[in-house]
Amino acid sequence: MTAMQTVPRTGTGGGTDPRRGVAPTPGATRPAERRAERPAQRSQRLRHQFVAWGFIAPVAIYMIVFYAYPLFRNLDLSFRDYTLASFITGEAPFVGIANYVEVLRSPTFWPALGSTAVFTLGSIAVQFALGLALAVFFYRRFPLSTTLRALFLVPWLLPLLVSASIWAWMLNSDSGVVNAALAVFGISQVNWLTSPQTSMIGVLIANIWIGIPFNLVIMYAGLQNIPDEVYEASSLDGANAWQTFWRITFPMLRPVSAITLLLGLIYTLKVFDIIWIMTRGGPGDSSTTFAIWSYRLGFGGGSPDLSPAAAVGNLLIVIAFVFGIIYIRTQRRTEDEL
Amino acid sequence: MDKNRTARIVGATVLSGVFVAAALTGCSSTPSDNDSSGSTEYTLWDPYPDRDASSDWAKAIDACAADIGITIKRNAGNTGDTVKDLTTAAAGKLPDIAMVDNPKVSTLADAGLLTTTDDNGLDVSDIQENILTAGQIDGKTYGVPVGANTLGLYYNPAVLEAAGVDIASVTDGASLTAALEKVVASGKKGITFSAVGTEEGSFQFLPWFWGAGADLTALDSSEAVSALTLWTDWVKNGLAPQSVLQNTQGTSWDEFKTGEFGFAENGSWFKSDADAAGYNSIQIPGENGKPAPAPTGGEFITIPIQKDTARYATSVKIVKCLTEGNTGADSLGYVAPTAAGQEAQLAADPTLEGWVTAVGDAKPRTADNLGVKYGTISEQLYTAVQNALSGGLSPADALAAAQKAASEKLG
C-alpha cells in the first residue's frame, strides 16, 4: 500500500521539518559571491537582514522576558540559599549544588519520584485509553450524540478548585457518596484520601476524570481525518471491528496520539491543584509528587525553603524536557519513514 | 513601495520595543511615591478581610482615630499575605501598625522589621503575662496581643446523658477514652477534632501534647508518644472518625453540630454558637489531673520600623486604645488581653468565665524562645500526626522521624 498523506492538519501535529530550516532570505549570498558584490547590493542585503531581525524582535523579547528570564531566575534560586532574610537584605549566598544534594538525599525524594511516575503514567494510560474508546464510540453519529459529547466536556470546563473539592467530598471516608454506594454492594469503608495506601488512587481517579475530555476531543478530531476509503477497502478485505480498529485506526492515529500523549504527559507532570486540594500530598508523603513537593517546600510548610523548592522545580523541568526530546526524536523517525 | 513597507516594518518594531520597555518599567514599583511621613494619616494592616467597614472592628478603629484626632487608613488582607507584604515592602513603605498572627511575630522580628517596646515606648505592664510571651524574644517585646482565644473540650449534654456519662468524671486521657467508649456504645459517635496536615492540625494536637508533659524541642519523648498514641487509638478503635485527618476546625464544628457526636475539641470562637445549640465546654484534660495548657490564637499588634521615628508616639496611642478595655477584643471575638478588659467582659457575660480561665492557663506556640523555629517544628508535628493517624507509621516511629527531620532542618 502506498504511503498516503494521512497526517492531519491539527495544530501542532506534523509541524515543520527541522532539517529544512528557515527559507533562504531574499538576497542571501554565499561567501564567495559576497566579495564580488557592489556596495549598493551589500547595503540592501543589510537592510533586508535588519527587516528580518525586526520581525523576530518582538517575539524574541517576549520569549526572553517571559521564558528565559524566569528560567534563569529559577536556576539562580536553586544555586543560592534564599531565606526570609534575603527578602530584606537582598543577599543570598551562593551554595553551588548543595540544594540539589539536599533534595536528592531527602527521604521524600524516592517516594515523590515514584508517586510522580505512578500518577503521570497511570493518568495518561487510562485517560488516553478511555478518551480513545469514547472517541471511537462517538464516531458513529447517533441521535443526541452531539449533546452527549458536549456533556462529556464538562469535567474539562469546570474550574479545578470546584472539581477537586467535589471529589474530595465524594471520596470522604465516613460520609462520602462513593463509600455509601460501595456499602450498597457490601464493600466495607475505603479510606480513600486518609489512608496512605489509597490516597494516590483517590487523586488518580479525580485526575483521570478531568483529563478524559481533552483526549476525547483530540482523538475525535484525529479520527475525522482518516479517509473513508481506507475503511471501505478494509471492509472489502473482510476485516472485523477489532481488526479495523487495531490495524487501521490505531496506526493511522499515531501522529495525533503522539502529540496527545506528549501534551498530556507534560501537563500531568505539573498537576498541582487537584492533589493539593484533595490531600495536600496525602497522609505523610503518600501522594506527594514533585510539583506538590516543590510547593510544599516553598510555601506550604513551616518555613519558606525557596531554594530547595526551586531545585525540585528544576528537576521537574528536566524530566519534562527529556520527554520532549523523546517526542521530537520519534517525530523525526516517523517523518523519515514517510 | 518597498521603501514604504520597510519603513512601516521598522516603525512597528521600534514601537513594539518601546511598548515592552515601558511596560517593564511601569511594572517596577517606584519607592517614595506613597510616603506618608509627617501627615496625620496612619496606616493599619490587619488580616480580617471579612470584617468590612460596617463591622465592629472597623468601628473600633474609627473610634480610636477620632479619640486621638488622626485618621487611620485600614488595609485588610490575609495573614499570609500580610507577612509577605511586610517582608517584601521597602523600608519606607511599612505600615504604622501591623497586625499578624501571633506565631508569625518572631519571624518578622527576626527579619528586623519590628520595633521593640524600648524603641517605641509602649507600656505593656497591664497585658496578661502568659499571652504576651509570643511577642517576646531574648527579653525584648515586639508587640502586644489584641486578644486571645484558645481551645477547649465541648460536649453535647444530651448525648452524654443518654450514654450515662458524667462530665465531672472526665479528668484525664484515660477517663475521656472511657467516656468515649460509653458514647459509642450508646449508638453515637465519640469525638471530633481537626488533625489536618496544616498548622490547624498542630494547633489542635498541642493541648494533648503539652498536657502529657511533652516539649516541642523533643518531639520523640515518651510523653509525646503517649499523647499521639491516645489520638491514634481513638481513630483505630472507632472512637474518632477517619474524617479528622481531613477536617479543618470549621468542618469539625459542622460535624459536631449534627448532634451525632458526644465531644468536640474546638475553640472559644464558637462559644456563642455553642450557647445557642445548648452545648457546654470544659478545659481539655491533662495527664496529671490538671487542665492541659492549650495554645493561644489571636493576632498581635506590632509597630514596624519607620523612617520618621516621631510617628511612634501616636502609633503607641493607637495600640493602647485598641487593647485597653474590651472593645477591640469583643469586636474580634477574643478574650481581652488586660485584667481590666477581662473584668468588663465577665461583667457583660458571666458565662465567659471558663474561657477566661482557659486563656489564663494557655501558652503561646512560639513561647520558650522557640521563635522562628516553631514553623519548622510544627510542620514535622502535623506530618507525624497524619502519619500515625492514617496508620502509615506507628506513633513512636512517626515522632522519631519528625524529630530527626526537625533537628536536621534547624541545624
Instruction: Give the alpha-carbon dihedral of B93, B99, B104, B105, to 10 degrees.
Output: 80
pLDDT value at B108 more than 90? no
Contact A88 B198 (CB under 8 A): no
Average pLDDT, whole number, for chain B? 87
The identity of residue B74, as a single letter, is R
Contact A173 B87 (CB under 8 A): no
d(CA A240, CA A64): 54
d(CA B406, CA B398): 12
Instruction: List, for residues A126-178, the tens digit of each pLDDT value.
Output: 999 999 999 999 988 889 888 998 899 999 999 999 999 999 999 988 889 99
Smallest CA–CA distance, residue B6 to chain A, in Å, is 7
Give bridge partners of residue B5 from the DSSP assignment.
none
Smallest CA–CA distance, residue A296 to chain B, in Å, is 10
In this prediction, residue B308 carries a pLDDT of 85
Q: How far is CA B382 from CA A213, B209, B294, B375, in A?
A: 37, 12, 16, 11
Nearest to A175 among B10, B87, B243 (CB): B243
Are B160 and B393 in contact by the 8 Å Cβ rule? The answer is no
3-class DSSP assignment, residue B16: helix
d(CA A185, CA A330): 46
Chain B residues touching residue A303 (CB < 8 angstroms)? 372, 375-376, 379, 409
pLDDT value at B19 more than 80? no
Contact B390 A281 (CB under 8 A): no
Chain A within 8 Å of B7 (Cβ-Cβ)? no
In this prediction, residue A66 carries a pLDDT of 95
Provide the pLDDT confidence category of residue B92 given band limits of 50, 70 and 90.
low
CATH of A109-287, one of 1.10.3720.10, 3.40.710.10, 3.20.20.140, 3.30.2310.20: 1.10.3720.10
Contact B376 A302 (CB under 8 A): yes
Average pLDDT, whole number, for chain A? 85
Are B364 and B150 in contact by the 8 Å Cβ rule? The answer is no
Q: In this structure, how many other beta carbons lie within 10 angstroms of the beta carbon of residue B126?
A: 14
Q: In chain B, positions 47-76, which contact chain A (CB-CB < 8 Å)?
A: none
Provide the pLDDT confidence category of residue A10 given band limits of 50, 70 and 90.
very low
- The lowest-confidence range among A237-246, B155-164, B340-349, B397-406 is A237-246
Chain B residues touching residue A287 (CB < 8 angstroms)? none
In this prediction, residue B28 carries a pLDDT of 45
* Extents of the domains making up chain A: 109-287
Provide the pLDDT confidence category of residue A28 given band limits of 50, 70 and 90.
low
Chain A residues touching residue B199 (CB < 8 angstroms)? 302
Chain A to chain B Cβ contacts (< 8 Å): 102
Chain B within 8 Å of A27 (Cβ-Cβ)? no
In this prediction, residue B306 carries a pLDDT of 86
* C-alpha cell, B3: 521603501
Provide the pLDDT confidence category of residue A29 given band limits of 50, 70 and 90.
low
Question: Among the residues of A64-159, which ranges form H helices?
Answer: 69-79, 84-89, 98-105, 109-139, 145-152, 154-157
Q: What is the ipTM of this complex?
A: 0.76
In this prediction, residue B81 carries a pLDDT of 67
Nearest to B197 among A173, A280, A303 (CB): A280
The reported pTM is 0.80
Chain A residues touching residue B196 (CB < 8 angstroms)? 280
Provide the pLDDT confidence category of residue B257 given band limits of 50, 70 and 90.
very high
- The lowest-confidence range among A54-63, A101-110, B362-371, B380-389 is B362-371
d(CA A33, CA B224): 84
Contact B243 A174 (CB under 8 A): yes
Q: In this structure, how many other beta carbons lie within 10 angstroms of the beta carbon of residue A15?
A: 14
Catalogue all structural domains in chain B, each as residue range(s) with its CATH number: 39-145+297-361 (3.40.190.10), 151-295+367-410 (3.40.190.10)
Nearest to B88 among A87, A107, A302 (CB): A87
In this prediction, residue A15 carries a pLDDT of 43
